[in-house]
């Protein structure tokens, strides 16, 4: 896999006429430091470094239609040794061909797919185009897991799919389907052995997900409606997700309502698929009011229905100038929580932006002692861009907490976290000759 991806990148640089292509990119170096102090004065910490790179080449081989894009990341923890360090992840590295007559686009290489119900990352091919007002898209390739698998494993892990979208009398209609499969190693049932029965070898099926999706959208004056319906098909036809959203805008007001039905997103060949699964439903109502360019009010109310219990979520807030102040409250089977949060953004100069935020929350679990735990966090951030090709950023966060004892957390008391994040990004641009 590494050799093939490197070959793609080398091909992009060594292609004939590459010196005439336009090249742009960005490199970011970042450090994340974390330190936690417990009530017994013991401390733990972490220091991790990240290096990311993004590259885009347009006009390869003196062809304006051909381009190449790549984005990857390398990280290493300098405080805690891990056998997986340095960890790398290649998010995408693909060639793109834009048909000069604008009939289709072709993508070849590692790429992310977001096509209706089909979501994932593949080493393969994707083609999209438009025919008589209908948008078509098809893709297929080896499935990529965490940047470590992919090309060369088509027989072990693959993903294929298609999407068709068009418009009928002002209503947008899309239909999509995809299949994601992965070969798993057989295992022996330990439960039978514990009970003194002969062991049984379990061979999970190769299909992880197989879905058909329908999405419909329509705008009628000030009214906007959207519907999404995902159907799981490996074991019959079962609704995985159904979502309906309605929004109405008038004179600075936006009023909306939503309904959501969903079941757990568990792979068909996962060991978790043997456990009982139940659906939940959400009904939401939201209102926002834009008074002027400096002031806006908003609120959101949601009820979630679980099997044998209901949960509620309420949020209200105000946007004033470049700041936001909000209050949120949640309650349900696990307990209840509420909190205040505030964010202020202020531009100190054309190249310097400051951000300050603070949040205070309280929560009570059903397994607790009856006293609410408290958490208070404060964050300050500075972003500085002295020129077109360089930007610097700093963010520090302080988190103080006083946790009450629960059955799942038998170590109550005060704790303190300190987190620092520093990054530097540089851009480069080169026009073709």
pLDDT digits (tens, 9 = 90+) for 131-150: 888 999 999 998 886 545 55
3-class state of residue 308 by DSSP: coil
Question: Rounded to 5 degrees, what angle do the CA atoms 419, 425, 431 make?
Answer: 165
pLDDT of res. 44: 65
Least confident range from 73-77, 176-180, 196-200: namely 196-200
Tell me the mean pLDDT in the region 323-344: 90
Residue given tokens 């290493």 in the structure block: 76
Residue 120 Rama label (left phi>0; alpha psi -120 to 50; beta): left
Least confident range from 16-30, 35-49, 155-169: namely 35-49
Alpha carbon distance 404, 402 (integer Å):
7
pLDDT of res. 108: 95
pLDDT of res. 264: 80
pLDDT of res. 39: 55
pLDDT of res. 144: 85
pLDDT of res. 373: 81
pLDDT of res. 131: 87
Is residue 254's pLDDT more than 70?
A: yes
The pTM assigned to this predicted structure is: 0.79
pLDDT of res. 62: 67
The listed range with the strongest mean pLDDT (53-67, 138-152, 224-238) is 224-238
Q: No. of H helices and E strands in the chain?
A: 2, 24
Q: From the CA atom positions of the chain, what is the Rg in Å?
A: 26
Is residue 277's pLDDT more than 80?
A: no
Q: Which are the contacts of 320, defined by CB distance < 8 A and separation ≥ 6?
A: 294, 295
pLDDT of res. 102: 84
Sign of CA dihedral 202, 203, 206, 210: negative
Alpha carbon distance 123, 118 (integer Å):
15
Is residue 281's pLDDT more than 70?
A: yes
Q: What percent of the chain has pLDDT over 70?
A: 77
Residue 272 φ then ψ, to 5°: -70, -15
Is residue 406's pLDDT more than 70?
A: no
Distances (CA, A) of 256 to 103, 165, 247, 260, 295: 37, 25, 4, 14, 20
198: DSSP letter: P
The answer to whether 164 and 181 are in contact (CB under 8 A) is no
Q: Is the peptide bond before 3 cis (omega within 30 degrees of 0)?
A: no
Pairing of strands 390-403, 413-430: antiparallel
Q: What percent of the chain has pLDDT over 90?
A: 48
pLDDT digits (tens, 9 = 90+) for 96-129: 999 888 889 999 999 999 999 999 899 999 999 9
3-class state of residue 113 by DSSP: strand
């Amino acid at each position: 896999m590494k050799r093939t991806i490197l070959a793609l990148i080398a091909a992009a640089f060594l292609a004939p006429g590459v010196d005439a292509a336009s090249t742009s990119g960005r490199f970011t170096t970042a450090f994340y430091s974390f330190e936690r102090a417990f009530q017994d004065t013991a401390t733990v910490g972490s220091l991790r470094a990240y290096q990311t790179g993004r590259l885009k080449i347009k006009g390869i081989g003196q062809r304006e239609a051909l381009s190449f894009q790549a984005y990857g990341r390398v990280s290493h923890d300098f405080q805690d040794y891990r056998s997986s360090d340095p960890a790398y992840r290649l998010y995408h590295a693909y060639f793109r061909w834009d048909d000069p007559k604008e009939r289709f686009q072709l993508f070849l290489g590692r790429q992310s797919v977001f096509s209706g119900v089909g979501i994932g990352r593949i080493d393969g091919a994707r083609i999209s185009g438009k025919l008589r007002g209908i948008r078509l898209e098809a893709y297929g390739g080896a499935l990529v897991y965490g940047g470590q698998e992919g090309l060369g494993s088509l027989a072990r892990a693959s993903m294929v799919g298609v999407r068709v979208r068009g418009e009928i009398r002002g209503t947008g209609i899309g239909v999509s389907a995809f299949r994601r499969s992965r070969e798993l190693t057989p295992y022996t049932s330990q439960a039978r052995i514990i009970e003194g029965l002969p062991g049984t070898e379990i061979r999970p099926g190769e299909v992880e997900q197989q879905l058909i999706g329908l999405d419909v959208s329509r705008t009628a004056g000030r009214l906007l409606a959207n519907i999404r319906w995902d159907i799981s098909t490996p074991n019959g036809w079962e609704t995985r997700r159904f979502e309906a959203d309605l929004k109405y805008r008038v004179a600075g007001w936006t009023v909306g309502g939503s309904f959501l039905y969903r079941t757990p997103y568990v792979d068909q060949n996962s060991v978790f698929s043997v456990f009982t699964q139940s659906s939940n439903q959400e009904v939401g109502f939201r209102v926002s009011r834009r008074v002027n360019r400096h002031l806006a009010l908003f609120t959101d109310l949601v009820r979630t229905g679980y099997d044998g219990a209901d949960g509620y979520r309420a949020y209200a807030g105000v946007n004033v100038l470049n700041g936001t102040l909000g209050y949120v409250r949640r309650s349900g089977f696990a307990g209840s929580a509420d909190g205040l949060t505030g964010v202020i953004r202020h531009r100190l100069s054309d190249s310097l932006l400051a951000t300050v935020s603070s949040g205070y929350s309280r929560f009570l679990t059903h397994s607790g002692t009856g006293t609410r735990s408290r958490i208070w966090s404060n964050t300050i951030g500075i972003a500085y861009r002295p020129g077109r090709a360089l930007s610097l950023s700093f963010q520090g966060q302080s988190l103080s907490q006083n946790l009450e004892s629960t059955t799942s957390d038998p170590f109550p008391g005060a704790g303190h976290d300190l987190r620092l994040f520093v990054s530097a990004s540089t851009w480069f641009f080169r026009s073709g000759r």
